[in-house]
Amino acid sequence: MSCTTLLVGKKASYDGSTIIARTDDGDFDVKKLIVVNPKDQPKKYKSVISHLEIELPDHPMRYTATPNVDKKKGIWAAHGINEANVAMTATETISTNALVMGADPYVKYEKAKSKKEKDKAGGIGEEDLVVLVLPYIHNAREGVERLAGLLEKYGTYEPNGIAFSDDKEIWWLETIGGHHWIARRVKDEEYVVMPNQFGIDKFDFKDAFGAKKEYMCSADLKEFIAQNHLDCNNDGNFNPRNVFGSHTDSDHVYCTPRSWYMGRYFNPTTYKWDGPDADFTPESDNIPWSFVPERKITVEDVKYILSSYYQGTPYNPYNPGNDPEKGKYRSIGIGRTGVTAILQVRGYMPKEIQAVEWITFGSNAFNTAIPFYTNTGRMPKYVKDVTTDVSTENFFWASRLIGALADPYFPVTAQMIERYQEGTANESHRLLSEYDRKMTEKNDFSLMEKANEDLAEMAQKESVRCLNQILNHACRNMRNNYSRKDH
């Protein structure tokens, strides 16, 4: 699953929130936003892809999820926040290399070759992780620990990066081969960029095997590296990306340009990003995993950068003309995105309303982000009642329709999209402020469902308005139009 992740520490964000966000770039998967109440959480989980059965703990917590509507390939819950205000996004597909895979192969499902044999279950993967972990953790660190235990016991069949956050900190875990893992705490003053590659570029083994303040890893990771001759660093410093990551030509087209553009946006003057003497180019292998931003990062910044397609560069696929650089690199905001979640935990608010999940569906270049309070028993129909059939009655398909109709007429519809995004962002913040104030002043948090319904109603009204405008333009510019009118 090719995705892009952005992590924002609490001192790097505009309001002291922790923010973790990811685009879920599947194969045009139909998605919805739901609440999973404890009675709906399975006691025994069975994965579709790996045929693995796992007994789950008692007393799960309520949590939000953005699962596939069509369950034939599994749940794929993708993102969520639980009732303890712990957020999780799973997963960013990352990269690895042949040395790692030879040392610790993936645990893949194997169908029995004869009736006398039994099928061999595979490990856990993106399909499963949110359901297996999020309902049972009370802080971000516990998320790393629970997932690590599952990886070591069952293994995985794919390389993944997973983020956890609470009101105080963010942790990022990356899998290594079938059973190993490494994790690093995001510094409060930094943000992290992740574009489908193994990302962590610094690691402190002393801390990982001591206090574990900033780093954690598999108990045998040192031995695993030494026994399999994995350490390819040559300067005395341990860079996990050089050891566990990939170094391919395709990375320079598909992955690193996204890190370059995100760093260029948040740190435009810290480094030189363009020209022959640039510190980093779209094809640089040494773009840092984390940066201190030049200014505090807002939710709108996160939405913008995860929607971007190299605006202001020769690589923008919407640039006019036939510049050979046009569309050269894989955009961050692409057409096949199913859902993007911006998970915000606001430590300064009462526990009941700390967590807000900003949701977008479809291609981020053309959609908008709407916030929903997560500590509630249900979500509005506009985001949860989604089917595989196209309908303007839900946010998913309205967003898909807007994107598909706007894309061919980009020079004109870009203005309509910009007004749509700005209008909904303004109204979202107004409604959040209004309901934050009401609930805090009255100490009455039962208003959360009403708040979410008002936010959904606003999203529906503005989405219909935008769709009307774009459809009207598309109809007037169909190729079979003719100047003579029959009236």
Q: So which residues are the catalytic ones?
A: 3
Residue 79 · residue 131 · CB < 8 Å: no
How much of the chain is in helix, strand and coil states, percent to nearest 5?
35, 20, 50
Start-to-end CA distance of the chain, whole Å, equals 52
Residue 445 one-letter amino acid? F
| Cis peptide leading into residue 175 (ω within 30°) | no
Task: Identify the sign of the CA torsion 186, 191, 194, 200.
Answer: negative
| Dist CA 246 CA 255 (whole Å) | 11
Residue 217 · residue 183 · CB < 8 Å: yes
Query: Whose CA is closest to 423, among 374, 380, 481, 370?
Result: 370
Helix, strand, or coil (residue 220): coil
Residue 364 one-letter amino acid? N
Query: Whose CA is closest to 357, among 35, 141, 37, 126?
Result: 35
Residue 77 one-letter amino acid? A
Give me 217's structure tokens. Answer: 């890893």
Task: Using CB atoms within 10 Å of the CB of residue 214, give its burial: 0 to 12 exposed, 13 to 18 middle, 19+ buried.
Answer: middle
Half-sphere exposure of 264 (CA within 13 A, CB side): 21
Query: Whose CA is closest to 346, among 77, 102, 16?
Result: 16
| Dist CA 173 CA 148 (whole Å) | 9
| Dist CA 144 CA 122 (whole Å) | 21
Q: Distances in Å between the alpha carbon of 264 and those of 221, 281, 310?
A: 34, 10, 10
Query: Whose CA is closest to 472, among 378, 406, 391, 423?
Result: 406
Residue 76 · residue 127 · CB < 8 Å: yes
Query: Whose CA is closest to 181, among 255, 94, 286?
Result: 94
Give me 306's structure tokens. Answer: 């995860």
| Dist CA 154 CA 149 (whole Å) | 9
Residue showing tokens 């995860």 = 306
What values do phi and psi take at 371, rounded to 5? -85, 150
